[in-house]
Amino acid sequence: MFRFILRRLIITIPMVIIVVSLTWGLVRLAPGNFYTGEKRIPPAIEKNLREKYGLDKPWYVQYARMVKNILMLDFGTSLKYEGQSVNSILARSLPVSATLGLLAYLLALVVGVTAGTIAALKQNSRLDYASMALAMLGISLPNFVLGPILVLIFSLTLFILPPTRWGGFPSVNLILPVITLSALYMAYIARLTRSGMLEVLRADYIRTARAKGLSEKDVVFRHALRGGLMPVVSYTGPALAFLIAGTVVVERIFVYPGLGTYFLNACLNRDEPLIIGIVAFISISVLLFNLLVDIAYGFIDPRIRY
Amino acid sequence: MRIFRSSQLRLGAGLLALALLIAGCSASAKNQVYFGKVAPPSDNTLHYVSGSEPESLDPQIGTGQPEARIYMSIFEGLTEYHPKTMEPIPAIAERWDVNKDSSEFTFHLRKNARWSNGEPITARDFVYTFHRGFSPKLASRNAYLGYYIKYAQAYNEGGVFVRDKKTGEFLLVKDFKEGAAKTETPAAEPASASSSSAPDTEFNKIIKSPERVVLPGDEKERNKALEADAKLKAAVEGKEFVEVKATDIGVEAVDDYTVRLTLTQSAPFFLGVMAHQFFRAVPQKVIEQYHEAWTQPQHIVTCGPFKVETWKPYDKLVVVRDPMYWDVARVKLDRIAFYPSEDNPTTMNMYKAGQVDAVLNHTVPAAWLDMVRPLKDYMDAPEVAIDYYQINTKKAPMNDKRVRKAFNMAIDKDALAKWRRIVKPLTAFTPEGIFPGYPQPKGDAFNPQKAKQLLAEAGYKDASGNFDPTKFPINQVEITYNTQESNRIVAEFIQAQWKQNLGLTVPLKNMEWKTFLNMRSKVEYSGFARSGWVGDYMDPFTFLNLFYTPAGDNGTGWWDPKYVQMLDDANSELDQAKRYEKLAKAEAYLIEEQPVIPLLTAATNWVKKPYVKGMYPNPQTLHAWKFVYIEQDSSKWDQGVPDMQKRAGEFGPDY
């Protein structure tokens, strides 16, 4: 187990560098610059700007410098936001996105697993069909439709919840964005749980447990859930990583100063250090979360040994 | 059957409830006078959506209007914008003198202006501000606004003077221009030195001496320039190159409270530029101590009616009234909270829910206009901004003037304006009705017959001499625009117009903002590219200036020295009315050559709560925040657009 973890950690470094290098290449290829604006700047000022940010050096020098920064986890200074280091931007925006993401996923887990389990237990009943139909709706309805609808009802008609803005944790400002964000995951997890549980509930050891005379509650919670949640666990790893990294649409609708907002604007602004910093962070998160999920497998499923 | 009916019943009940809810929403919408909640805040804080997140709190760095609105609260310059007309009103300068030909401006500062840390603001602070703004290391994108100041451009671009090693004399421009040099400053006459209201000084004598030759500082560029001009190369032989320094710029602190600007040529409109954020005072000691970190809330020192209290990027910037401000008695608000938001529907939702009290311009989405426009908090006024299509005049078939004029004439601009609802049609190149007394020329009217005739004349005709659409190389032409809802609907409208009136279907092409800018500024597009321009100051020259050089913001490849001459001629005209006439003639020449298709004069299109007073839909949507206040007495609230007529003494005895 320990060697497995170590191996995975070591391989993270070259993988992150590959991802970051590809991103760097794409950003360089994209037309336009961080200083391109509606009003053209005179060539002499453009030269000054490029010198100021070290863009006048040959591309391999800039690439080498970027890789060195990544390895030292110092992502440099933003090109667009004068004087703000990428690390400070990450430190500021990550808690916002993480809070939003974690709360949304928690809600999705609680509601989704419950709904999926009940649906699996009462298969082919009206409850099953209703919850799966609702899940279908949750998956199909984009969050840029759901969000504004919720805002329209609760903020602009009933005036009971604020329509935008981050209010810290805990605050009423979190209610609408968390619901909007969790809808898709809730639905997905419900379906995953249902199919996972259905498979497990047919297994022999469950039949044995029931034959032994265990209560339905014990059968479900002590025996079935462990196996039934496997699909959910594998889904959780990358889903959580991306959720924490920020969801652009929800952050834009509710004007949250999170990682997603910064990421989108960095791409549109061609703010290279910020783009690289966020991409590096996301890839490290995804790799780490996948590792955590794999470790969790080892505990949940006794058949898996490292 | 029973189950079926009961679930049907439940479904029916649910739908009925939903229908009632929607009906309730729209019913309440019909009765509303204002858009959304109207409840004045009790804490005397204005909540305002300024636009996108500011890139910096440094007024010499941020280039956009969203930043400008924030800067206007925390920094002040020599002049400020009048809340209604955008004219220059006294700020840190209490009065000023302009010499006869508008090439020298002398500002007399008030003696009680102070920084937020209590230190007095002096003329030397403004000299530092100008020097820093033009410094090549800062690489400010707004530096071009001050290029009329003598040697500012030379310093900003890292240029060099040419000096004789033995005599110490500089090479002069007048030695290279024949006849009466248009670049010879009128201030070469000793008479204008005495017309200044400030005493003559050593520096003044030097700066008023005939203009020196400036060459590029970069050796490669310099050699290229020298190769092109043999006479210049000969004159440079054996001489040394001296870097243009900040102290060479035509800005002088004559004494502690007098600032004198010397320009390279006549620029009567230059006073209107002084309120721009680029020229607002910045604190020398703080910048030299903290460098780029000087704008952080714990370090920043400001000079405006408000100072920075807290700043959470992408969340909220709060400024609080500055007790050190020289006019603090007139500042009524306690605080202003600026919110960044880039999504218009979201901004409108914030406004409707009462989270903010006012928003920036161009916020009401086109689809909402029918509902919001009749309400009493809608701000509708013309803007100093135009929308137009640039034409690539270098690529066939658009290099033929007749083709360009034909396409222009084939658009019914009145129909376009009516359909857009909030804009005015435009046939010329300056916004209509914005500059009082300006005799704006009229471009070609809508005339599809004449358009077809012109195209036939250009060679796209059939055997009987009539216009034949099939002969036109339609694959060489397209409309390119940056991806945005408003651009797309206008492009589709114009495409429909050309299809209807000319029988030609011009394809549309859209792309992301920076990609689009790149393509447009390099003039790589075929046919038409969507463009717009907001005036930097309140004078027609800010628009006509776009075609002063072939490069820069021109974007069409069209350039005519005759046009440039007409502009220079106009600017050296001392009589205001005659100057306007000459500018109008230049504009008429421009639209006759048709390097662009003018479309419309923009409108402000924003909303503010009726209890927000002292805030007006002026042509630039820039508000001098010290005049804004929250009115708690509902009988005094604004019912519609507030009175935009300028009244003497309205904002104070000296305005």
List, for residues B462-504, the tens digit of each pLDDT value. Answer: 888 888 888 889 889 999 999 988 889 899 999 999 999 999 9
> Hey, what amino acid is at B97?
D
First-to-last alpha carbon distance for chain B, in angstroms, is 81
Contact A83/B53, CB-based, under 8 Å? no
Question: What pLDDT is stored for residue B193 in this prediction?
Answer: 44
List, for residues A262-291, the tens digit of each pLDDT value. Answer: 999 999 889 999 999 999 988 888 888 888
Report phi then psi at B317, rounded to 5.
-120, 120
Question: What pLDDT is stored for residue A216 in this prediction?
Answer: 84
Question: What pLDDT is stored for residue B192 in this prediction?
Answer: 43
Contact status, residue B319 vs residue B73, Cβ threshold 8 Å = yes
Question: What pLDDT is stored for residue B306 in this prediction?
Answer: 96
In this structure, the strands spanning B478-482 and B527-534 are parallel
Residue B232, chain A, CB below 8 Å: the answer is no
Question: What pLDDT is stored for residue B228 in this prediction?
Answer: 87
Least Cα distance to B305 among B126, B46, B18, B561 occurs for B46
Question: What pLDDT is stored for residue B2 in this prediction?
Answer: 54
Alpha carbon distances (Å) from A275 to A35, A260, B384, B513: 15, 11, 36, 17
Chain mean position to CA B248: 28
List, for residues B132-191, the tens digit of each pLDDT value. Answer: 999 988 888 888 899 999 999 999 988 999 998 888 888 888 887 654 344 444 444 443
How many Å lie between the alpha carbon of A297 and the closest alpha carbon of chain B?
A: 39
Enumerate the residues of chain A whose CB falls inside 8 A of the CB of residue B552.
Answer: 40, 42
Which chain B residue has the Cα nearest residue A168? B315
How many Å lie between the alpha carbon of B459 and the closest alpha carbon of chain A?
A: 36
Report phi then psi at B176, rounded to 5.
-120, -5
Strand ranges inside chain A, DSSP E: none
Contact status, residue A227 vs residue A303, Cβ threshold 8 Å = no
Contact A148/B157, CB-based, under 8 Å? no
Instruction: Give the mean pLDDT of B570-599.
Output: 92
Cis peptide upstream of residue B397 (ω within 30 degrees of 0): yes
Give dist(CA B646, CA B651) in Å, integer.
10
Enumerate the residues of chain A whose CB falls inside 8 A of the CB of residue B292.
Answer: 77, 82-83
Give dist(CA B431, CA B384) in Å, integer.
6
If DSSP codes are grouped into helix, strand and coil, which group holds residue B90? strand
Contact A40/B521, CB-based, under 8 Å? yes
- Of A152 and B19, more confident: A152
In this structure, the strands spanning B104-109 and B606-607 are unpaired
Range of weakest confidence among A114-118, A127-131, B195-199, B553-557: B195-199
Question: What pLDDT is stored for residue B648 in this prediction?
Answer: 85
In chain B, which among 52-81 make CB contacts under 8 A with chain A?
A: 53, 55-56, 58, 61, 63
Q: Supply the ipTM of this predicted assembly.
A: 0.83
Question: What pLDDT is stored for residue B179 in this prediction?
Answer: 40
List, for residues A150-168, the tens digit of each pLDDT value. Answer: 999 998 888 889 888 888 8
Question: What pLDDT is stored for residue B20 in this prediction?
Answer: 67
Residue B310, chain A, CB below 8 Å: the answer is no
Contact B313/A48, CB-based, under 8 Å? no
List, for residues B520-571, the tens digit of each pLDDT value. Answer: 888 899 999 999 898 888 999 999 999 988 877 788 889 999 999 999 999 8
Question: What pLDDT is stored for residue B5 in this prediction?
Answer: 60
Give dist(CA B64, CA B130) in Å, integer.
19
List, for residues A125-153, the tens digit of each pLDDT value. Answer: 888 888 888 888 888 999 899 999 999 99
Enter the tokens of residue A153.
């009802």
In chain B, which among 508-537 make CB contacts under 8 A with chain A?
A: 512-515, 517-519, 521, 532
Q: Is the pLDDT of residue B246 over 70?
A: yes
Question: What percent of chain B shows pLDDT beyond 90?
Answer: 57
Mutate one of A26, A45, A180 to test the B interface: name it (highest B CB count within 10 A).
A45
Enter the tokens of residue B176.
């290279």
* Dmax (CA) of chain B: 112
Chain mean position to CA B200: 35
How many Å lie between the alpha carbon of A49 and the closest alpha carbon of chain B?
A: 5
Instruction: Give the mean pLDDT of B13-30.
Output: 65
List, for residues B272-326, the tens digit of each pLDDT value. Answer: 999 999 999 999 999 999 998 899 999 999 999 999 999 988 889 999 999 999 9
Enumerate the residues of chain B whose CB falls inside 8 A of the CB of residue A45.
Answer: 136, 139-141, 143-144, 156-157
Q: Is the pLDDT of residue A15 over 80?
A: yes
Contact status, residue A240 vs residue A273, Cβ threshold 8 Å = no
Name the residue facing A156 among B313, B316, B349 (closest C-beta).
Answer: B349
Question: What pLDDT is stored for residue B196 in this prediction?
Answer: 62
Range of weakest confidence among A5-9, A40-44, A127-131, B491-495: A40-44
Question: What pLDDT is stored for residue A147 in this prediction?
Answer: 92
Q: Is the pLDDT of residue A44 over 50?
A: yes
The helix (run of H) or strand (run of E) holding residue B9 is: helix B2-31
Mean model confidence pLDDT for chain B = 88
Give dist(CA A141, CA A151) in Å, integer.
15
Contact B346/A159, CB-based, under 8 Å? no
In chain A, which among 243-282 make CB contacts under 8 A with chain B?
A: 252-257, 261-262, 265, 268-270
Question: What pLDDT is stored for residue B30 in this prediction?
Answer: 58
List, for residues B370-397, the tens digit of each pLDDT value. Answer: 899 999 999 999 899 999 999 999 988 8
In this structure, the strands spanning B382-391 and B378-379 are unpaired
Enter the tokens of residue A56.
């006048």
Distant-in-sequence, close-in-space partners of B150: CB < 8 Å, separation ≥ 6:
B185, B207, B211, B249, B250, B262, B263, B264
Enumerate the residues of chain A whose CB falls inside 8 A of the CB of residue B519.
Answer: 31
Enumerate the residues of chain A whose CB falls inside 8 A of the CB of residue B38.
Answer: none
List, for residues B315-328, the tens digit of each pLDDT value. Answer: 899 999 999 999 99
Model confidence band, residue B4 (pLDDT cutoffs 50, 70, 90): low
Question: What pLDDT is stored for residue B166 in this prediction?
Answer: 87
Question: What percent of chain B shows pLDDT beyond 70?
Answer: 94
Model confidence band, residue B26 (pLDDT cutoffs 50, 70, 90): low
Enter the tokens of residue A81.
């936001």
Contact status, residue B446 vs residue B500, Cβ threshold 8 Å = no
Name the residue facing B292 among A83, A148, A163 (closest C-beta).
Answer: A83
The helix (run of H) or strand (run of E) holding residue B109 is: strand B104-109
Contact A253/B314, CB-based, under 8 Å? no
Q: Is the pLDDT of residue A77 over 90?
A: no
In chain B, which among 332-351 make CB contacts under 8 A with chain A?
A: 339-343, 345-346, 349-350
Chain mean position to CA A39: 37
Mutate one of A29, A41, A127 to test the B interface: name it (highest B CB count within 10 A).
A41
Q: Is the pLDDT of residue A219 over 80?
A: yes
Enter the tokens of residue A141.
């309805």
